[in-house]
Amino acid sequence: MSTPLLHAAGIIKRFGALTVLQNVNLTLDAGEAVGVVGPNGAGKTTLMSVLAGAHPPSAGKMHFHGQDLSRMAAAERCRLGIVRTHQVPRPFGGMTVFENAYVAASLAAGPQGGTLGQQEAFALATDALRLCGMLDLANRRADSLGLLDRKRLELARAVSTSPRLLLLDEIGGGLTDGEADVLVEIIRELRRRQITIVWIEHIVHVLVQVAERLICMDAGRIIADGEPRAVMAHPEVVGAYLGGMPA
């Protein structure tokens, strides 16, 4: 049996007396696209932060391609290929679109874990901007972009690091259906490149265009995990996520 790309077991996260994640178990295979849904306060973003290394777990173990992540900082995880985006894009506003992508590409691991040279980082940044439809805006300052383009730049910066596991936190939030469709096409291309994707999103009909597997969280627990239709019809999901209305 092949080793999963990511295995997290018994993950607990406390902030003081508040327990936000309760014994979360998650396994991801390489190339999977997994959607994460659940009501506000369910612990979705906290799980993303723990996986990415922004917050250490209070208990539990995480392994990425068999390597223990327990003591590994976010920057180290990024170099391993674990990268996330944020609900609110965080570009370097005083830099151009290309400079934002180039800075991210410079963090990517080179051969044998070494540092990439300028030419390699330039090529990674250029490819990421092309994939995200941002090359025409390469010389624009990031703080002059509208919401869709900020979202695309947030995605391009993540892609510039050559991720193996891409964690997307509500990247479709605030967009129209047409704008969200633009992101869906980009994320589909990332799937074709065999990048493993975990995508938190409230816009479920957008999410299931990409995700082959759905996870629902409530009160810090995973309450359902499986094929999207089955998950959305699960009684606990109907009660917790859909407020008691049929899926």
Mean pLDDT of the chain: 91
SS3 helix, strand, coil % of the chain, rounded to 5?
A: 40, 25, 35
1 pLDDT exceeds 90? Answer: no
Residues 6 or more apart from 161 whose CB is under 8 A from it? Answer: 78, 81, 83, 104, 105, 107, 108, 124
pLDDT tens, residue by residue, 173-217: 889 999 999 999 999 999 999 999 999 998 888 999 999 999 999
In a domain, 59, yes or no: yes
For residue 201, count CB atoms less than 10 angstroms from its CB and return exposed for 0-12, middle for 13-18, buried for 19 or more.
Answer: buried
What pLDDT, on a 0 to 100 scale, did the predictor assign at position 108?
77
**52 SS3 class:** helix
Which residue range is the domain that position 18 belongs to?
Answer: 6-96+165-240
pLDDT (0 to 100) of residue 71: 85
With 90 as the cut, is the pLDDT of residue 244 above it? no
Residue 59: φ, ψ to 5°:
-160, 160
Say if 43 falls within a structural domain: yes
Residue in the block written with tokens 């800075």: 103
**40 CB contacts (<8 Å, ≥6 apart)?**
none
In sequence order, the 6+-apart residues with CB closer than 8 A to the CB of 1 are none
Is residue 104 domain-resident? Answer: no
Residue 196's DSSP bridge partners are 165
Q: Is the pLDDT of residue 240 over 90?
A: no
Nearest residue to 58 (alpha-carbon basis) of 122, 10, 115: 10
Asked whether residue 171 is assigned to any structural domain, the reply reads yes
Query: How does residue 110 score in pLDDT terms, banded at 50, 70 and 90?
Result: low
CATH of the domain at 169: 3.40.50.300
Residue 124 is assigned to a structural domain of this protein: no
Query: Is residue 179, in this structure, part of any structural domain at all?
Result: yes
Stretch 55-60: mean pLDDT, rounded?
A: 96
β-bridge partners, 19: 14
| Predicted local distance difference test score (pLDDT) of residue 109 | 66
Note whether residue 67 is domain-resident.
Answer: yes
If you average pLDDT over residues 46-58, what whole number do you get?
96
Long-range CB contacts (within 8 A, 24+) of 68-74: none
Percent of the chain with pLDDT over 90: 80
Count of domains in the chain?
Answer: 1
> Residue 114 has what pLDDT?
59
Is the model's pLDDT at 245 over the cut of 60? no
Q: What is the largest CA-CA distance in the chain?
A: 55
Report pLDDT digits (tens) over 88-108. Answer: 998 999 999 999 999 999 887
In a domain, residue 12? The reply is yes
Amino acid in position 102: Y
